[in-house]
Structure 1
């Protein structure tokens, strides 16, 4: 769409004006994250950093692919990845920026990666099947058998702006292992990067992984950032510099910052949980106080106190999940009855 045809709604225009007071777009939102890394040189640098590859295994080239997958279940289920790429050696790479921890986060990772593996298998087989002869030789049949259930290595990299449960440190690797903890395949890996545990200052950055995570975590609030005397980093910073952003990038960024259906579902889930927990605790406390004091006021006071405690504990959980200040404000208003969830 041409720049002239892009129109901001009043809410979008208000957020755009706020963005213009900042130096960089915040890469913890999808639009700026893609602008930062959806470039071959930047992605190669980022992958070599976070995958901790040995020198002889370092990635030299990647092909950035269509990020949207459609899988039939039999109904079509669409998956839109932040960044999807294939390395020169055939590895499938998916890079995701996750601002808020959704309900059933682990299941979400597994479901999305299952679709990624299926797509990678389809692409792996497609060209081979097109060239397979109608009357294969014994060697060709043997090769087909070897490929029947084979698929390329697929790695998912999740950059999370919240505390990942049961993770110690900002970098962890999930893999498929047996009951003794031994890895049974190297073809599926999940690299989990926890920004809440990444606390390094500019002066303590040691490698490219540190440098990329530092930019991702701090760009949204920083007045200036280092380019580390590296043109790849310098180009990446130019792509998220607010003064360079075109209208489409600004529109995408502010829409990421606004409440969409996924955010509304997130709010609804935690609002319902707060009320359920509060009513349950309040009912128990109210009955106890009512029996002890023999008056209705005890039951009412107990229910009120329980609701307040339930709301408070749920807000703590939402905050730990990485909810933005805007989401936190809206949840508080809903719980207080000042706003309805629509």
Structure 2
């Protein structure tokens, strides 16, 4: 078997945002958001479900799936494969927009439902943490008093998720492993196949069940992302190289400046020693120090050298 890479827009939408994805998405969100018992999602509506044939025109390097849970909470699920400028601000903007546009003019603010922006990234966002999952809410800066949980940003950094198949204990681990690794698998591992919704997700991205047109769309998207990632890496390497060259030139200039400064100081010292030598028979040591700027030790060494 061969499976599509879920990190590409076509596969991500096919699994989580197309017609028929509802049971899969319910299981996925319950696992990732860690909803259990009375808080578990039992129903949701996929907002503007994506029709697979419409994917031809997609040009963005990110995708999002929107759902409204049975309790009214809104969820935006996004897969971001490239770390582009403004990405963090766009996540916040989209969450705020989803929250604000629930109301029409004149409606009561109490009608606003909470929003969760769930973002999977194929790159590291938070260098200071090793945990793959991060959740952010509005809290007081110093006393950590929670202001509101109406807007929550949740990130899953795939490069930080390093568990192997035999170490997957929870359904949350299994779903994250699926998103990260499905495209590199050649069969459905038993530990994943034992979860019916994940098994269904694999059937949605099984290349054997797809038309030539569908596969061509996927391959083009995958190649486009590879090219974009390569371009970003090349730009970064060139930036580093340019910075190194500029740093070396700056260092050389600093070295030249330091050399000039050292030469100037040596010249001044030579001149002071010459003047002091001519004053040894005329003035005492204290007077010579005062006039030339030399120290007591230097003047004493001059007198000793003259006696020799």
TM-score normalised according to structure 2 size = 0.68
Structure 1 residues 251 and 114, CA gap change in structure 2 (3 angstroms): farther
CA distance in 2 between counterparts of 1:101 and 1:253 reads 21
Structure 1 residues 285 and 264, CA gap change in structure 2 (3 angstroms): same
**Secondary structure class of the residue paired with 2:149:** coil
Q: Specify which of 166, 175, 191 is matched with residue 203 of structure 1.
A: 166
CA distance in 2 between counterparts of 1:83 and 1:277 reads 40
- Is residue 153 of structure 2 the alignment partner of residue 190 of structure 1? yes
Structure 2 counterpart of 1:171: 133
Structure 1 residues 160 and 79, CA gap change in structure 2 (3 angstroms): closer
RMSD of aligned C-alpha atoms? Answer: 3.2
- Is residue 12 of structure 2 the alignment partner of residue 33 of structure 1? yes
- For residues 37-186 of structure 1, the aligned pairs below 5 Å read 37-38=16-17, 39-66=21-48, 81-119=63-101, 121-122=102-103, 125=104, 147-148=108-109, 150-165=111-126, 166-179=128-141, 180-186=143-149
Structure 2 counterpart of 1:233: 198
Shift of 1:283: 2.1
Unaligned runs of at least 5 residues, structure 1 = 1-21, 69-77, 130-143, 295-342
CA distance in 2 between counterparts of 1:206 and 1:263 reads 32
What is the total number of aligned residue pairs between the two structures? 243
CA distance in 1 between counterparts of 2:129 and 2:255 reads 41
Structure 1's consecutive aligned runs of 4 or more residues displaced over 4 angstroms after TM superposition are 78-81, 260-269, 288-294
Structure 1 residues 81 and 26, CA gap change in structure 2 (3 angstroms): closer
CA distance in 2 between counterparts of 1:79 and 1:181 reads 35
For the Cα contact (< 8 Å) 1:48–1:59, is it kept in 2? yes
- Is residue 247 of structure 2 the alignment partner of residue 281 of structure 1? yes
CA distance in 1 between counterparts of 2:74 and 2:32 reads 15
CA distance in 2 between counterparts of 1:249 and 1:267 reads 29
For the Cα contact (< 8 Å) 1:161–1:196, is it kept in 2? yes
Give a deviation string over 1:37-63, Cα, whole Å, max 9, x none: 221011000100011123101001111
TM-score normalised according to structure 1 size = 0.62
Unaligned runs of at least 5 residues, structure 2 = 51-59, 261-308
**Secondary structure class of the residue paired with 1:220:** helix
Shift of 1:112: 2.3
For the Cα contact (< 8 Å) 1:45–1:208, is it kept in 2? no
- Is residue 2 of structure 2 the alignment partner of residue 23 of structure 1? yes
